Structure 1
Amino acid sequence: MLSSLRRAFHASAGRQAVQTINVPSMGDSISEGTLVEILKNAGDVVQADEVVLVLETDKVSVDVTSPVAGTVVELLAQLEDNVEVGKPLFMVDDALAPTSSSKFVQASDATSSESASSAKNANVTPRGREPVIKFLGKRSLLPAKPLPLSKSLGSYLPPPSQRALPILPSSPDVLPFDNVKRLPLSPTEVESINSGLAYL
């Protein structure tokens, strides 16, 4: 038992309580960004993977999260500062992480405040946007029951006088083109045809 305590003590002694979080990579060609929003200030408690800062470039907006639960010790950049990828951004002390009992107290406070706010909002009408598009149910444009076929299918065709005009033979005024003599092509015309009509 004593040896296991020694291992735990030595493992915790080598661990740094304060971690420095650097500016994350924001893409292949992006080397810097602007700090546009600070969600957690120095002294605020953060959970693991909770957003602390928001960086923005001309292409993307990046949420910078805390990798560990703890307390924000110091912000190393100010609002509207340009920060470079890989440079220190803020520090988190994971030794000052909230204990499970304080999490329980915070959770019970949050649920009681949510129930109080929901009771206040119960009498207030919502002021959200109403959707303009009204979706109809499935097959709403079709009749509920299909119509029975009372007539034969041929009765839906138009009367014979409107169906089609008869095909008449062509008039004798049309000249036949069978006896027209074709003129021979000159060598220049043959060459231009073979070259894709480049020499016309």
Structure 2
Amino acid sequence: MGVNSRGAEHIRGFLHDPRTEIRAIVDPDEEVGQKRVTEIADKQGVRPEFFKDIRDALEMKGIDIVSSATPNHWHALMGIWAMQAGKDVYIEKPICHNIHEGQALVATAAKYGRQCQTEADGMLSREYRKGFEVPAANKVSFDLLHVNVTLWERNRDACRSELVKNHIVDFMGDHHATIQVC
């Protein structure tokens, strides 16, 4: 689902894995979608079906995994629809916009016995882990169970918090920070 930008990267990854066959392409832009269908057919020797609506593609038999690289506001809903249709799902980050959507994804995966995965670019890097030392070193305390801060380098001026402005953005290679506090 979604074949431009990040979705094109998903396609390239699947095409390089001999264990996979791309069976369907979904994109609301038919011109872009058909272009990807042709590219895929040329590389894998099998022409995938094209759909403009994910709901139609989810009815296909023989699809095991759905990859979602859609605009962010679709991530949780498409993940839920895919799992309800009996498919495992890989969802680009952010996987959801709020805790309720995240809980709905977890509940759907459990109910239908499906796998739901997202990426965590750079989360194991030294720079990312260092971001967790900043609150501890400054004895920052939280009353929340979960804080998710999205940090885009290009929006540095909008980040006025001293924690964000002087620490995390300066040494983070990734653009997401998640702080889990118990």
- Fold-level match, TM-score > 0.5? no
- Return the index of the structure with the highest Cα Rg: 1
- Scaled by the length of structure 2, the TM-score of the pair is 0.19
**Larger RCO of the pair (alpha carbons < 8 Å, separation 6+):** 1
Question: Which has a greater percent of helix?
Answer: 2
